[in-house]
Structures are given as structure tokens and as C-alpha cells.
Amino acid sequence: MTIPTERNRLADTASPYLRQHADNPVNWQPWDDQALSTAEDHQVPLFVSIGYSACHWCHVMEEESFSDPDVAAVVNENFVPIKIDREERPDLDSIYMTVSQLVNGSGGWPLSAWCTPDGEPFYLGTYFPPESTRGRPGFSEVCERIAGSWSDSDEREEMHNRASQWAAAARDELEDVPDQPTERDDESLLNEAVAAAVRGHDDEHGGFGANSPKFPMPGRVELLLGAAVRDGNDAAMSAVTTTLDAMASGGMYDQVGGGFHRYAVDREWTVPHFEKMLYDNAELPRVTFQAARATGRPAYTRVGTESLAFVEREMRAEDGAFVSTLGARSRSPISRRDGADSAADRQDHDEETKADIEEGEFYTWTPDEVDAVLDEPAAGLVKDRYGITSSGNFERGLTVPTLAESVADLAEARDSSASEIGETLMEARATLFEHRETRPRPPRDEKVIAGWNGLMISAYAAGERALETESTDSAPGSASESKSESDSVSDSGSGSESGSVIESGQRALDATLDRLWDGETLYHSVLDGDESGPSVSGYLDDYAFLARGAFDLYQVTGDVGPLDTALTLADGILERFYDPGDGTIYYTADAGEDLVARPQEFTDRSTPSSLGVAANLLVSLDGFTPREYRSIAEEVVTTHADRVHGSPLEHVSLTQATGRLSRGTTELTLAADPVPQEWHDHLTSTYLGDAILAPRPPTESGLADWLETLGLDETPPVWKGRTATDGEPTVYACQSFVCSPPKHDFDAALEWLSTHWICWGT
């Protein structure tokens, strides 16, 4: 039989994940016209494998199957094998994942799909072991069975029919636009979503659902936080604090170096999947900073601040943008490697084998490892504090550090003070961090993704002034922990060296635009250091997330540049993704590649719904432009009202957009230059929810320069007639198109708002 593909072509690609498979004996192809034409010419199926560089089971399947020459021979003889990086092609991932969920009831990565030559799937699964085991078919067996069926004309016809049916089902799901949406009570939607979130909250361990695994769901936390402040909902606030405390005290939070892992494999948040994703370390700190303002708990500020310090240290590219992921696996520390008893033995062992690459090796500890770097009493304190035992809480007798005992209990047991215990732990944690830095590190995916950088910029905006107003020399802990506990990641050589929080956010925006914006088109991603530049045009999440990040930056800096970026990208959303005939905003551009389906992103998953974020963005920016942003947002939420009302909690971002349109927006226009320090203090300490801050120059002449920058002929509504009065900084508070008189006292503006039904609080 003629082998359809001649060679593995992944060495020619930019994606680090694809390059990881460049040495496989499988003749992997990237998703491109050449690969699809090859399948069509030879009339053989596609085998599509989708994953990402930090995916543990993706690496397992590569080592077990894709590196096996015998398995590769079966694949190469019968299929055109295509490797896809889901972070590089989220549109393809969305389509095939949707089919998997529709036909199998579940999905995950690696995602394995066997497809007709035109890309329609007829068989899907996730991880397959090399041989059949425990009811799960082996990968080679599946490939041989599919190849045999394809060679039979009758069975091939049946496979084509099945593929057509599944593709139609995917289009029905992803392109769903009802002809006539049902009239709905939008005012009750937020309450329904909040009630559902409270019902689904795990009161014992935090998070949502009583089973494992446990995924962080920052959108639900944000929803509950708004309800807690707006409505005085104690159950909602309890869910917020229980969840944030549980994540921050468990193994999902890196207790030594800061930052969040992807998710927890158990109900108690003890053992994580160890990859660190940029989006988690953007959305979770952003919501944690909001909770800090709403509750006044400094521990939340510390967790958010340490997470930003981690991102600065380990995920920032040289020019200021952020890369996408850190892997879950790394080489074992030398002391854990079998047969490595002496320094010479260890060196020989390094040269002779590439084994000992395991998940979690960088982040876990044993009691002996603690004893090797700390003296008593610090060693005993650390082991008790972080639950490091000989039996461990993870595989191979290793321990993922958690906050196992409180500082108060440790102090009482040792007849000491909490401050003394905290000081010892602070120094010990710095030592652990420094020692951990000598271990082999997890790999870093160097992709710079526009949308994920937008999420990160929003987190920096939320954390503005946090490094100035809250000491960072403290370890993460639950909200009830003593501030004396801990260690600053920056004290251990790991903090930000690039200036203030907001300067870091501005650097990220500038670098992302420099790399991925050509003046007309925003591109999706580029590999750090790749001189060939980006090639895939941006998706809706790239435009919406980066626009939101730029707008958040404007709100805290009062600089017109980020606002101009936000409005430009919002216009790009309408020009490229909005379909007025369908009344919706698609995930892919109207001039994009013709795929099995043109997806919409309805639900909030590991990242927020791009459709929901876009709708919220249009609501926020409506007062800054003559374009009808608000009416388009209303059209979108009306189009999808049945879907959202049927399951508001699964569509948190769309639910929030619906709620804002129903109750009206809150605005604070600040006519001042500079903004008084007293106002800064209020903005730092006051939870304002989704209120819009609209700083502007105090005079009309100053505003004229802004209007020229923005290309506006007339003053937009949010600034119109709202100059500084009496030569003093002036604030205008507005709710649902009703505004207060000009006020020079920020407290008075907040008091005016307190008489209106809004989402904010002190």
C-alpha cells in the first residue's frame, strides 16, 4: 500500500506543542491545505490529534503510542495524521470537542478524532492506551478496526453518513440562532443564576459540585460576589469566601512560589494538575482582588499579588508580553533519581537516560528534602504547616504543600507567638523557594496569545496599587490567617522587577499590539522569538479579551491611548464577527477558513465566553462612541435568551451582560487631572462591581485633544457636559442614564449611588 504522507512535517511549524512531536515516527502533518488535499487525493481518513504543550495525558499518549514505530506504521499506512495545538487553533478544537461532547457525553485532551478527508468526524475519543485495558480499547486496535471498516465500501458509506449527521449536529449546536426568541423576564435572570450557584456550592470544601475533579470557576465567584454586595446575600458571600479560601490554602495554589495550577483532582483542592496556564493566573487573581475590596481581607490581596509576581517572574517574555503555559512535568530532582547515589553517579545517570520525567516533580517535597535545606525548628514548622509527611498526599510518597495547620495552632503548640512563628516561616519559605529554583524546571510554551494577554492585563488593572497599599512580604493563606505568617515571593528573589503593577499591564498591552496588531488586523498568536511573525488571524476572544484589558487599563490610568485601543478592537468585532442577519457575534471572522461549522462560544469554560465578554464590552463602551454598541449587545442577548435562561449558570458572562442591560449601567465620570489621592484611596478600597470609570480631562480644551486621538467629531455621552466645576476635581455619578449633580466630594458621589440599585459597595 502506498503511504499517503512522506514525512513528519512538524519541525517546520512554529507551535512548541507541534514541535514536541517532530521526532515521532508518525508522519504528522499540520492542519493545512496540503494535508487535507493529501487525504482527498488518496481517499484515506484523517486522524486528528488535538492537545497542548502542558497537557499531561497528551505526553503520555505520545510516549506510549506515537513514539512506537509499529504503531506509527499502522497510522502512516492508513491515515493522514494531523496534529493540532488547541491553543493555536481554538476554532478547530471547539468544533471537534463539541462533536465529542454531543456523541460521547464528554471530552478532554488529548482529543482523538478520525474524520473523512473533508474533516467531518465519524469516531472520537480522548486518551487511548497502547493496548486494550479495563474496557478501554487500545489505540492500535482502534486504528486497525477503522482502517478495516474504511476499506469496505458499504462500511465506508456508513462512516460518511455518520460523519454528515455529526457535522450537522455540530452546526446545529455551534451556529444555533433561533428564528424567534421567547420573551423572557431578564430582571429575574441574575437571581436565578445566583440561586443556582449557591445550590451547587460545596459548603464543606468550597467550589462547585461535590465531586472531583474541582475546577476553578472565577465567573461564578464574580457573579456571587456581586450578589453578596448588591443584595446583602450572605449565602452568596459565604460561597465566595469558602471557595477562595479553599483554593488559596490547598495544593491548587503554589504555596512556595505563588500562582495557580490548572485544577484539583480531588474534592478538597489538595492535589492539582500541575500545569500553570496564563488564563487561570489572570482570571483568579482578578476576582481575588475584587473580593479583597469587597471584604477588606488582606489575605486576598496577598494571594492576588503573589500570583502577579509569579507571572512576572515566570511567564513574561522579554518585551513585556506574556507566554501561554508552564508544563506539568519535569525531570526529577537529582536526589530522587534511581541509582544516583554520588555526584559522579548522578552525572552518569543524567547522560544515560531521559527517564524520571514525571508530573509534579518541581512542586512536591519529602520530609528529607525539607530537612536537607532547613534546620530545626524551621524544618519541623514547615513540615507541620504545609502537611509534608513521609506518606505524602501525592504519588511516589511526595507531598503537595497545603496550609495544613494554622499559624495560631502552630504557635499554641510551641508556646510561642504568632509573630515569631510567622517570621520563622517567612524565612523558611524563602529558603524553600531558593532551593526549588535549582531543580529542573517544567517546560514553558513560548506562544504569546492576544486574548490571554488581554485577560492578564485586566488582572493587572484589578491589582493596580495593590503592591503599594498592601505589603507583599506575606505568604498566601486563608482569609483568617495572620499577616505575620509569611514570606514574600519577592523577598525570595521572585517578585516583579518592572515597576508598578499598572506599568506591567501597560507594557503587556504595548508588546501584544506590537507583535500581533498590524493596524488593521489583530492576529491570534506568535511564538516568542519567531521572526516569521504571526499567521493566524485573531478570533473573537482575542479581540474581546484584549479590548476589555485595554479598557480596564484606561479606567485605572486615565490615559486615552488604551481607550482608543479598546474602541478600535470593538469596532473590529463588529466588522469581522458580528452578523446582523443572525443577530449574533461568531467566534471566527466572516472571512475565515471554511470549516465544518462556524462556532459561537456561548458558555464559560476554562476562559470566559468570548460572546459574553464581547456583549459586556459593548455595553461598557456604549457611552464612549456614536456607534450603537448597546443595541447590538441587546440584540445578541435577545437572540440567545432561550439558551441563557435555560441554563444561566453555564452562561455566566452572557447572564451578566443580560443583567447589566436590564438594570442599567453605573458610571463614575472623573473630571480631574490629576485624580486626587483621596479619590485613589476610595477606588482602591471600594468594591464597585461592574461600574464604569470614565476619567477625562477637566476642561473642554483638554478633552478636545482626546477627541482628536479617538477620531470623534462630538463629545460622547459619558463625558458630555461633565467638566470640572469651580476649578476643582469633579465627579459625576450616574445610574441608568440618571446622573447626580457635580460633586467634589467622592464620598458624596458614593452616597448618591447608594440610593440607587446598583452593584457596588463599601
Express each pLDDT in 686-708 by its tens digit. 899 999 999 999 999 999 999 99
Per-residue pLDDT at 754: 84
Q: Is the pLDDT of residue 140 over 80?
A: yes
Strands 46-51 and 80-85 come out as parallel
Instruction: In whole angstroms, give the CA distance from residue 606 to residue 54.
Output: 14
Per-residue pLDDT at 489: 30
At 562 the three-state DSSP class reads helix
Instruction: In whole angstroms, give the CA distance from residue 2 to residue 588.
Output: 37
- The answer for residues whose C-beta is within 8 angstroms of residue 1's C-beta and 6 or more apart is 77
Show the CA angle centred on residue 584, arms to residues 579 and 587, nearest 5°.
85
Confidence of residue 486 (pLDDT cuts 50, 70, 90): very low
578 phi and psi angles, rounded to 5 deg: -80, 130
Q: Give the sign of the dihedral formed by CA 117, CA 118, CA 123, CA 124.
A: positive
Look up residue 667 and give its amino acid: E
Separation in Å, CA 687 to CA 230, 690, 758: 10, 9, 11
- The answer for residues whose C-beta is within 8 angstroms of residue 646's C-beta and 6 or more apart is none
Separation in Å, CA 557 to CA 129, 464, 465, 683: 52, 9, 11, 12
Helix axes 540-557, 560-576, angle to 10 degrees: 160
Per-residue pLDDT at 1: 58
CA atoms within 13 A on the CB side of 604: 28
Q: Is the pLDDT of residue 466 over 80?
A: no
Instruction: In whole angstroms, give the CA distance from residue 400 to residue 272.
Output: 8
Instruction: In whole angstroms, give the CA distance from residue 269 to residue 431.
Output: 25
Question: Percentages helix, strand, coil for the chain, rounded to the nearest 5?
Answer: 50, 10, 40
Q: Is the pLDDT of residue 470 over 50?
A: no
Residue 530 or residue 36, greater confidence? 36
Mean pLDDT, residues 108-133 = 96
Per-residue pLDDT at 531: 73
Q: Is the pLDDT of residue 204 over 90?
A: yes
Per-residue pLDDT at 345: 45
Provide the CA 517 distance to its chain's centre, in angstroms: 21
Instruction: In whole angstroms, give the CA distance from residue 684 to residue 389.
Output: 41
Per-residue pLDDT at 477: 37
170 phi and psi angles, rounded to 5 deg: -65, -40
Per-residue pLDDT at 480: 35
Of 41, 34, 51, the closest CA to residue 113 belongs to 51
Show the CA angle centred on residue 219, arms to residues 217 and 224, nearest 5°.
100
Q: Is the pLDDT of residue 122 over 70?
A: yes
Residue 712, exposed/middle/buried by CB under 10 A (0-12, 13-18, 19+)? middle
Confidence of residue 757 (pLDDT cuts 50, 70, 90): low
- The answer for residues whose C-beta is within 8 angstroms of residue 257's C-beta and 6 or more apart is 310, 314, 433, 436, 489, 494
Q: Is the pLDDT of residue 482 over 50?
A: no
Q: Is the pLDDT of residue 171 over 90?
A: yes
Instruction: In whole angstroms, give the CA distance from residue 44 to residue 38.
Output: 8
Q: What is the mean pLDDT of the chain?
A: 91
Give the three cell numbers for residue 486: 509569611
Instruction: In whole angstroms, give the CA distance from residue 665 to residue 324.
Output: 33
Query: Residue written as cell 533519581?
Result: 337
- pLDDT 10s digits, 288-314: 999 999 999 999 999 999 999 999 999
Confidence of residue 339 (pLDDT cuts 50, 70, 90): low
Q: Give the sign of the dihedral formed by CA 125, CA 126, CA 129, CA 134.
A: negative
Instruction: In whole angstroms, give the CA distance from residue 432 to residue 474.
Output: 15
Mean pLDDT, residues 501-513 = 96
Show the CA angle centred on residue 574, arms to residues 569 and 579, nearest 5°.
155
Confidence of residue 351 (pLDDT cuts 50, 70, 90): very low
- The answer for residues whose C-beta is within 8 angstroms of residue 296's C-beta and 6 or more apart is 685
Give the three cell numbers for residue 76: 502512516
- pLDDT 10s digits, 397-415: 999 999 999 999 999 999 9
449 phi and psi angles, rounded to 5 deg: -105, 130
Instruction: In whole angstroms, give the CA distance from residue 577 to residue 615.
Output: 12
Instruction: In whole angstroms, give the CA distance from residue 556 to residue 565.
Output: 15
Instruction: In whole angstroms, give the CA distance from residue 453 to residue 455.
Output: 5
**Total residue count of the chain as it appears in this document:** 762
Q: Is the pLDDT of residue 287 over 70?
A: yes
Look up residue 448 and give its amino acid: V
CA atoms within 13 A on the CB side of 321: 25
- The answer for residues whose C-beta is within 8 angstroms of residue 70's C-beta and 6 or more apart is 140
Per-residue pLDDT at 465: 53
Instruction: In whole angstroms, give the CA distance from residue 585 to residue 547.
Output: 15
Confidence of residue 355 (pLDDT cuts 50, 70, 90): low
Mean pLDDT, residues 39-46 = 97
**Torsion on CA atoms 477, 483, 485, 486, rounded to nearest 10:** 80
Instruction: In whole angstroms, give the CA distance from residue 586 to residue 573.
Output: 9
Task: Find the range with the poorest average confidence among 350-359, 509-518, 531-540.
Answer: 350-359
Confidence of residue 759 (pLDDT cuts 50, 70, 90): very low
Query: Residue written as cell 512522506?
Result: 6
Question: Going edge to edge, which strands form the sheet with 276-277?
Answer: 276-277, 325-326, 444-445
Of 709, 745, 706, 710, the closest CA to residue 728 belongs to 745
Look up residue 121 and give its amino acid: P
Confidence of residue 560 (pLDDT cuts 50, 70, 90): very high
Max Cα–Cα distance, the chain, nearest Å: 87
Per-residue buried b or exposed e for 424-452, using 16+ beta carbons within 10 Å of the residue's own CB: bbbbbbbbbbebbeebeebbbbbbbbbbb
Of 282, 574, 570, 290, the closest CA to residue 449 belongs to 282
Mean pLDDT, residues 68-72 = 97
Q: Is the pLDDT of residue 481 over 90?
A: no
Cα Rg of the chain (Å, integer): 27
Confidence of residue 356 (pLDDT cuts 50, 70, 90): confident
Q: Is the pLDDT of residue 742 over 70?
A: yes
Confidence of residue 279 (pLDDT cuts 50, 70, 90): very high
Instruction: In whole angstroms, give the CA distance from residue 481 to residue 485.
Output: 7
Please say whether the beta carbons of 262 and 587 come within 8 A.
no
Percent of the residues in the chain that have a pLDDT greater than 70, as a whole number? 92
Look up residue 386 and give its amino acid: Y
Instruction: In whole angstroms, give the CA distance from residue 512 to residue 542.
Output: 11
Look up residue 642 and give its amino acid: D
CB-CB neighbours of 468 under 10 Å: 12
Instruction: In whole angstroms, give the CA distance from residue 634 to residue 158.
Output: 44
Of 698, 648, 651, 710, the closest CA to residue 670 belongs to 698
Percent of the residues in the chain that have a pLDDT greater than 90, as a whole number? 85
Per-residue pLDDT at 337: 84
Per-residue pLDDT at 40: 97
Instruction: In whole angstroms, give the CA distance from residue 570 to residue 621.
Output: 8
Mean pLDDT, residues 410-439 = 96
